[in-house]
């Protein structure tokens, strides 16, 4: 995912190339060692010192800016851009996003990051990034229809606050909720730092802490690292099975998908099965076994979600089959585009497996016979693949038996895809409805003439005028009439909330923005959270039919208590 820590890094990168700052020497009192740790936490998932990745390269920046100037900018990054600084504007437009202020970082922390960058710059003799400022006067054209505010408004109420898992921001890294498998109105909530909580009657208790149970567990660097996702087996009440994904530091352990020796392994993603001894126990007691281990070259776009199709009977052929959304593992932005968009790699795919089967390569799970590529004779093909060509399938949900996946894209679009069996969604030669080259991931081009390549276009999308990273959602089917049959989702960084009117024919993919009403006045999640880094998730309890708005900075889960339609002024 490209939010939270990426925000700091992008802010730094934007200002570090601004022409309005003068060259000065850095104070030597701050710690480069501490700065390296902070850099790893907040920047390294999307930036390198010597090469462009998700954001601009950072090497050489300390040759031209003072601590005071950098600190000031980081605390109010929009100011330089709004003043028209050509280099700052050029970078913001190239990367098609403007990051919010990062006033949660202390001055000494920022100085430490700068000290680390300065030490690396001098050691490697790195020069500042050269930026083309020609043509910064005109805004780039929109690539998708603008999203406008609708008359739909929602009212929220505080539901529960999850315990802080860190003293630094964000205080929590809450990512998923799941309805309690016992159907007792409980809710389970995961924190990427390695925790799963049980919420019962608005009381929060720790259900499982994997940090002491996984030897090489890590939740940094990166935005999606740590405890990625979890899912209860639909027959959990009988078999006690829970499935969890997590990241581990690479210590040379053999993986089911390995990279060429010339490519450095950044970390390993692991899908494992955890078996409860007693499903009535309030805390996890049991053991685990590994299903799948995947090496990745970068810290973003990992295993974002695993899920079973909910609400189906045991007679349904999809019952008990686990869907695993895997991003491209940073392969494209790290310069290895060949590692994804192929049936010979699990990167950039949605897998479909039978966790109770045994006919996989490693014998730890099964491959359903009706998977689209299961009959292929080529032994190098991953027959687990259900669909492919994804950059980062962030969230999955089902509506009328159809699978939808939200796709966090590169620099131009955010997508919602209707996932079909065997479908190719085009990444990394397509983004949205446009072509893209792995040699320039910041710009897209129109496809002209006949396109013989059979890619599936997004069901719905928006461009980076309206947001920067989609957080998938769910279709509301509860008792609030104004929300009925609406796919509600959000934009991770900005906290904007959107919806699509859904019907069985999927006749209208138009995206609308909804508004939060607080005490009769329009509000938003930036105001409600008191943080400019909202990091929003939309969660839905299929048992109680309640929809929640979840934000990471202070661990708040809010329930949608009402919705109404008001005439647009």
- What structural domains and CATH numbers belong to the chain? 5-124 (1.10.760.10), 149-565 (2.120.10.30)
SS3 116: helix
pLDDT at 76: 72
pLDDT at 186: 97
**Helices 32-42 & 5-16, crossing angle to 10 degrees?**
110
Pairwise CA distance, residues 228 & 191, whole Å: 9
Which residue, among 549, 531, 534, has the nearest Cα to 488 in the 3D structure? 549
Per-residue pLDDT tens digits of the chain, which is 569 residues long? 444 444 444 444 444 444 333 333 343 445 888 888 777 777 776 677 877 776 778 888 778 777 777 777 777 777 777 777 777 777 777 777 666 667 677 888 888 888 888 898 899 998 988 877 766 556 778 999 999 999 999 999 999 999 999 998 889 999 999 999 999 999 999 999 999 999 999 999 999 999 999 999 999 887 789 999 999 999 999 999 999 999 999 999 999 999 999 999 999 999 999 999 999 999 999 999 999 999 999 999 999 899 999 999 999 999 999 999 999 999 999 999 999 999 999 999 999 999 999 999 999 999 999 999 999 999 999 999 999 999 999 999 999 999 999 999 998 999 999 999 999 999 999 999 999 999 999 899 999 877 767 899 999 999 999 999 999 999 999 999 999 999 999 999 899 999 999 999 999 999 999 999 999 999 999 999 988 789 999 999 999 999 999 999 999 999 999 999 998 77
Q: Is the CB of residue 191 less than 8 Å from the CB of residue 233?
A: no
Which residue, among 548, 553, 562, has the nearest Cα to 530 in the 3D structure? 553
Pairwise CA distance, residues 551 & 407, whole Å: 19
Distances in Å between the Cα of 231 and the Cα atoms of 307, 310, 549 are: 6, 11, 19
Helix (H) or strand (E) holding 78: helix 77-82
Which residue, among 409, 524, 412, 381, has the nearest Cα to 471 in the 3D structure? 409
pLDDT at 50: 77
Which residue, among 429, 424, 463, 461, has the nearest Cα to 447 in the 3D structure? 429
Pairwise CA distance, residues 283 & 184, whole Å: 16
pLDDT at 100: 63
pLDDT at 36: 84
Q: Is the CB of residue 65 less than 8 Å from the CB of residue 87?
A: no
Q: Distance between terminal CA atoms of the chain?
A: 35
Q: What angle do CA 1, 223, 77 make, to 5 degrees?
A: 90
- 222: its two tokens: 């990166």
Pairwise CA distance, residues 102 & 227, whole Å: 25
- 390: its two tokens: 């994804």
Pairwise CA distance, residues 524 & 526, whole Å: 6
Distances in Å between the Cα of 373 and the Cα atoms of 179, 387, 391, 540 are: 32, 10, 20, 32
pTM: 0.91
pLDDT at 30: 58
pLDDT at 248: 98
């Amino acid at each position: 995912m490209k939010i939270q820590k990426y925000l700091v890094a992008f802010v730094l990168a934007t200002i570090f190339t601004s022409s309005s700052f003068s060259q000065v020497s850095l104070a030597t009192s701050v710690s480069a060692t501490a700065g390296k740790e902070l850099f790893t936490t907040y920047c390294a998932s999307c930036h390198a010192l010597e090469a462009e990745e998700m954001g601009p390269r950072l090497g050489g920046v300390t040759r031209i800016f003072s601590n005071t100037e950098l600190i000031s900018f980081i605390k109010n990054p929009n100011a330089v851009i709004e003043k028209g600084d050509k280099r700052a504007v050029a970078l913001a437009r190239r990367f098609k996003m403007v990051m919010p202020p990062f006033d949660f970082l202390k001055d000494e922390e920022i100085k430490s990051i700068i000290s680390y960058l300065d030490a690396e710059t001098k050691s490697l003799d790195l020069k500042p990034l050269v930026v083309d400022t020609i043509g910064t006067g005109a805004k780039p054209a929109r690539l998708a229809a603008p999203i406008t505010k609708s008359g739909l408004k929602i009212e929220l109420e505080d539901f529960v606050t999850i315990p802080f898992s860190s003293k630094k921001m964000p205080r929590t890294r809450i990512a998923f909720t799941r309805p309690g498998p016992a159907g007792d109105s409980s809710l389970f909530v995961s924190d990427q730092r390695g925790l799963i909580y049980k919420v019962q009657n608005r009381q929060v208790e720790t259900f499982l802490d994997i940090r002491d149970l996984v030897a090489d567990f890590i939740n940094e660097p990166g935005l999606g690292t740590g405890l990625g996702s979890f899912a209860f087996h639909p027959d959990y009440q009988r078999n006690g099975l829970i499935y969890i994904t997590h990241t581990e530091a690479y210590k040379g352990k053999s993986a089911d998908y390995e990279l060429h020796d010339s490519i450095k392994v950044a970390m390993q993603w692991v899908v494992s099965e955890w078996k409860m001894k007693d499903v009535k126990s309030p805390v996890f007691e049991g053991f685990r076994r590994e299903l799948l281990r995947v090496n990745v070259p970068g810290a973003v776009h990992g295993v974002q979600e695993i899920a079973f199709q909910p609400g189906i009977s045991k007679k349904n052929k999809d019952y008990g089959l686990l869907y695993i959304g895997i991003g491209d593992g940073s392969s494209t932005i790290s310069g290895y585009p060949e590692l994804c968009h192929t049936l010979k790699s699990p990167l950039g795919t949605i897998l479909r497996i039978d966790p109770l089967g045994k006919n996989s390569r490693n014998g730890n799970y099964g491959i359903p016979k009706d998977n689209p590529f299961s009959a292929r004779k080529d032994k190098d093909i991953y027959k687990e693949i259900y669909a492919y060509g994804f950059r980062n399938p962030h969230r999955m949900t089902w509506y009328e038996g159809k699978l939808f996946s939200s796709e966090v894209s590169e620099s131009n679009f955010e997508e919602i895809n209707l996932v079909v069996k065997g479908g190719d969604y085009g990444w990394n030669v397509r983004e949205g409805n446009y072509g893209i080259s792995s040699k320039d991931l910041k710009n897209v081009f129109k496809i002209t003439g006949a396109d013989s390549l059979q890619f599936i276009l997004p069901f719905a999308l928006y461009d980076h005028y309206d947001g920067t990273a989609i957080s998938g959602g769910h279709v509301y089917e509860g008792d609030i009439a104004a929300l009925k049959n609406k796919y509600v989702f959000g934009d991770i960084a900005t906290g904007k909330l959107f919806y699509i009117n859904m019907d069985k024919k999927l006749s209208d993919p138009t995206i609308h923005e909804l508004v939060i009403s607080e005490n009769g006045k329009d509000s938003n999640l930036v105001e409600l959270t008191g943080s400019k880094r909202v990091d929003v998730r939309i969660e839905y309890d299929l048992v109680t039919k309640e929809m929640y708005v979840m934000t990471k900075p202070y661990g708040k889960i809010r329930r949608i208590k009402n919705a109404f339609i008001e005439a647009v002024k």
